[in-house]
Amino acid sequence: MQTETVAITDLSNREFLERYAHAGCVGLSGGDTLVDKAICRAERHLDAAEQWSQWSHAFLFEGRRADGHHWVIESDLQIHRKHIQFGAQENRVSKYFDEKLYTRLAVLDFGLTEAQVSALLNEALELVADRTRYSLRELVGTLIGLRHPTLRTRENPLARERSLFCSALVQHLFRKVGLDLAPGVDAKHTTPEDIVRAPLPHVTYVLRRNEGATRLGALRTKLRRRVKARLRRIQRRVRAG
């Protein structure tokens, strides 16, 4: 396998993931929230031209299970009403069908053997069972390391036991099966941008959208919010008067 990037257009998030994702592949996502933008901006230090990264989150595709759904294993923060998941967890890939929240997607296929995929998933499920936490503290240590590259070869100064943020979890899993996505970088300093630049031969499938249509949609959403907010203010004044 040679390293190459394949741009995919005219597909929805759902169509893209159903076509290109399979067990053992790595997923990357990016969005337009403040958190996404902050992470992508911090990763600019990995680029010679200091261009922002497109990627703010990384996860592992688990494959289809008995329920017929494709699942992923990731370290993330999820809040569902009164139920909070904070750390290593399994989620249906349908989570990433939301095109407003996940505006950018990529699938990295490293051409793993069945034995490698099995070992990778076994290690991942151990982290889920062990309730490995998502560490915001370690993420801060990684952001510091991005500004001071010499620190990235050393242990994350804010490392904690049984804690891994998203891309650190992916790097940890690959190293466990003898594969290194970011040689010379401490696992708990690994970013999504490090993973997309992995020196291991792989194919990266990137979903590219019509940027004009995306911006127009965002503008329409912003205008709707402004109109609704203005109407609420008018209603409050009418009631007060």
Residue 189 in any domain: the answer is: yes
Residue 230 forms part of a structural domain: no
| 115 part of a folded domain | yes
Q: What is the pLDDT of residue 213?
A: 46
Instruction: Write the DSSP string, 12-65.
Output: -HHHHHHHH--TT-EEEEE-SSHHHHHHHHHGGGGSTT-PPPS--EEEEEEEE-
Q: 204: exposed, middle or buried (C-beta count within 10 Å: 0-12, 13-18, 19+)?
A: buried
User: Residue 19 phi/psi, 5° resolution?
Assistant: -85, -40
pLDDT recorded at residue 212? 47
Note the pTM of the prediction, 2 decimals.
0.83
We report the CATH number of the domain holding residue 187 as 3.90.1720.10
Q: What is the pLDDT of residue 211?
A: 54
pLDDT of residue 219: 58
Q: Is 84 helix (H, G, I), strand (E, B) or coil?
A: strand
Q: Which domain holds residue 26?
A: 4-209
User: Tell me, what's the pLDDT at 241?
Assistant: 66
- DSSP E strands: which ranges in the chain? 4-8, 26-30, 57-64, 70-80, 83-92, 104-109, 203-207
122 located within any domain: yes
Q: What is the mean pLDDT of each run of 10 residues along the chain (241 residues)?
A: 91 97 98 94 95 97 95 86 78 96 97 97 96 90 93 93 95 96 96 97 91 52 72 76 66
Does residue 220 fall inside a structural domain?
no
pLDDT at res. 81: 60
- Total domain count for the chain? 1
